Chains A and B, each alone.
Chain A
Amino acid sequence: MTDLRMEETSPEDLAQREVLAAEPGRFDTVRRALFERPSTCIALAVVILFVIVAIFAPLIAPYDPLRQSILQINKLPSWEHWLGTDQFGRDVLSRMIHGSRNSLIFGLLSPVFAACIGTILGVSAGYFGGWIDRVISRVVDMLMAFPELLLAILVAAALGGSFWNIVVVLTAAFTPGFARVSRASTLAIKQEPYVEAAIAAGVRTPVIIFRHIVPNIMAPIVVLMALWSASSIRIEATLSFLGIGTQPPNPSWGNIIRDGLNAMFTTQWPIVAGGLAITIVVLSISIIGDSIRDVLDPETSQ
């Protein structure tokens, strides 16, 4: 009997059904991105855990991260100090917990700023063309030649380290990438018949840009933001390690390792703990970013 039913199904019907199935809703896309693979679920749980720790850092941390104690210098882990103490006798676990605030806030802030500035530059270059495009593309091409980390080091070297300078540094490092991607997407969408029709119909430029172009280039921008918040955390840690990021005595995972290196011969726990925290967070965010990319634009996924 089943065979008979199959016979009546024309190929057109089958194709139709496939098209219907391939058009998921927005919620469905998010659900598929985040909950389909177990590895992504774990990564998401890890990130949420770190966010909670960062938000409630003062409540969770057992000690004041800045309180020094001459009696407690370079202690190995114990019941009082789970990760031991550093060369000023500060509790490493408390510094780690407070340090997570720095890492996560940079991981969030700079990709958002870079996305905003980069998208404005890229859309302007792609939409208006002409000399605007030439100037922007030239500068972006040149900056893209630099690895983000190197660019960040060089800008930080020129500006010096403070909270807002680091935000500027990381934003500067990521802006070219956003500009290039949004320029390419804008060029592609500008060719679409509905945009050409809107231009021909005399719709005002800002309306075209915000109605038609910006919503349609959001997918790659979101993917980049996810991937680069991981890079941003890693780069902030590197800058802090080099002494040009978060400045002591404020804790950051990077400068915990920097301090740990000085005490390397007595206790290695600060190095191990700081590095593990960075690696785990960056790894989790990368996994989430990869999943979002796979769902949003399967073509560019490797």
Chain B
Amino acid sequence: MAKYVLYRLGDAIPTLFLVLTLVFIAMRILPGDPALAALGPMADPVQLALFRERMGLNEPLPLQYIYFLWDAIRLDFGRSFISDVPVADLIARNLPHTIYLTIVSVLMGLCLGIPFGVFAATRRNRPPDNALRIYSLIGYSIPDFYLAAILLIVFSLQLGWFPINGAGTGFWDGLHHILLPAMTLAMLKSAFMGRLTRTSVLEVLGRDYVRTARAKGAREGRVIYRHGLRNAMLPLSTGIGISILATLSGSVAVELVFNRPGIGRLLIDAISERDYPVIQAGVMMFAFFVILVNLVMDVVYVFVDPRIRMKS
């Protein structure tokens, strides 16, 4: 058990290096001249020279790569070109908002999606099931920033129930500010989770051991929740991982629409201001999150499925 977790951790380290290498390739090698790509074709030669000096672009590439890795490991991302604040501080300031938004919307999404999926699975091809089919199709098609804008227009602008932007201060005000952005992401995730739950539960309910449970005299509710959903948790836990990551990527647009602080907002603002160190750090943060979530899901999987536990 502990061995398996350690093995997974060990497995994540080369992945981390691979991701860092890809970030390096994407930002330093692919653009040809990173200075020109970062500052744009209009930049004057003095600025370009200054940029190359600050980012160490005059060193040979292998040396740049080693510096790049070393800085990443120490979480030293340099200073912002615009505000001259250490990038690490900027991230520390914005990260909690993104994490809060992700957690709240994933929880809301699961609370909406899983019961809906179970409800539809037990009423196959009847109105609830068709409703879920349509809900999930629309949820898949509607872009998150559009849904965010519509909710903002309807509930904040027209009805005035929620504040228009910002993150608020204090717990209750913060909750008031986060509900609408979280709802945006939660609706999209619940469409996905609802569909996945329906499929998994239907698959499990057709299994022989579910018939055994009925033959024991278990009532339908117990059959569905104790035997059906419990076994459907295996595919669902993968789905939850995907949901968390999708919420993370969706948070970029949602933070922009609701004008909330966060890592996505930081990255997008940095792109428009050509703040190279912040872009680089933002990209690395997201990549790091992806690896972390996958790692955690791998470990969770072991807890859910005794079969994997026994093998290790």
Chain A–chain B contact at Cβ < 8 A = yes
Q: What's the Cα separation between A264 and B268 when bound, in Å? A: 20
Say whether A145 faces chain B, with CB atoms less than 8 Å apart: yes
Taking CB atoms, residues of chain A closer than 8 Å to B279 are 157-158
Is the Cβ of A238 less than 8 Å from the Cβ of B272? Answer: no
User: What 0/1 readout, one digit per residue, does chain B (187-200) give for beta carbons within 8 Å of chain A?
Assistant: 00000000100010
- Count residues of chain A with CB under 8 A from any CB of chain B: 42
Distance A20 CA – B131 CA, assembled complex (angstroms): 37
With A146-B245, A158-B27, A159-B26 in contact, do A244 and B271 touch (Cβ < 8 Å)? yes
Candidates A142, A147, A154, A238; contact of B245 at CB < 8 Å: A147
- Does the CB pair B253–A142 fall under 8 Å? no
Smallest CB gap from B249: residue in A: A150
Cross-chain contact A153 with B257 (CB below 8 angstroms)? no
Q: In the complex, what residues of A have CB within 8 A of residue B15's CB?
A: 142
Candidates B27, B157, B250; contact of A149 at CB < 8 Å: B250
Q: Which of A238, A264, A282 contacts B253 (CB 8 A)?
A: A238
A154 contacts B283, CB within 8 Å? yes
CA distance A138 to B18 in the complex (A): 9
Interface of A is mostly: helix
Q: With the chains together, A286 CA to B195 CA distance in Å?
A: 15
Interface bits A232-274 vs B (CB < 8 Å: 1, else 0): 0010011001111000000000100100110011001001101
- B13 contacts A by Cβ under 8 Å: no
Instruction: Specify which chain B residues have a CB less than 8 angstroms from the CB of A238 in the assembled complex.
Output: 143-145, 253
A281 to chain B, nearest CB (A): 8
CA–CA, A142 to B19, complex, Å?
8
B149:A261 contact, CB within 8 angstroms: yes
Closest Cβ neighbor of B297 among chain A residues = A145
Knowing A142-B18, A157-B282 touch, does A147 contact B150 (C-beta < 8 A)? no
Q: Is the CB of A257 within 8 A of B149?
A: yes
Q: Is the CB of B146 within 8 A of A158?
A: no
Give chain B nearest CB distance to A268 CB in angstroms.
Answer: 5
**Which residues in B have some Cβ–Cβ distance to A below 8 Å?**
15, 18-19, 23, 26-27, 30-31, 37, 137-138, 140-146, 149-150, 152-153, 157, 195, 199, 242, 245-246, 248-250, 252-253, 256-257, 267-268, 271-272, 279, 282-283, 286-287, 290-291, 294
Q: Which 4 A-B pairs have the closest CB atoms?
A: A275-B146, A150-B249, A283-B141, A158-B26
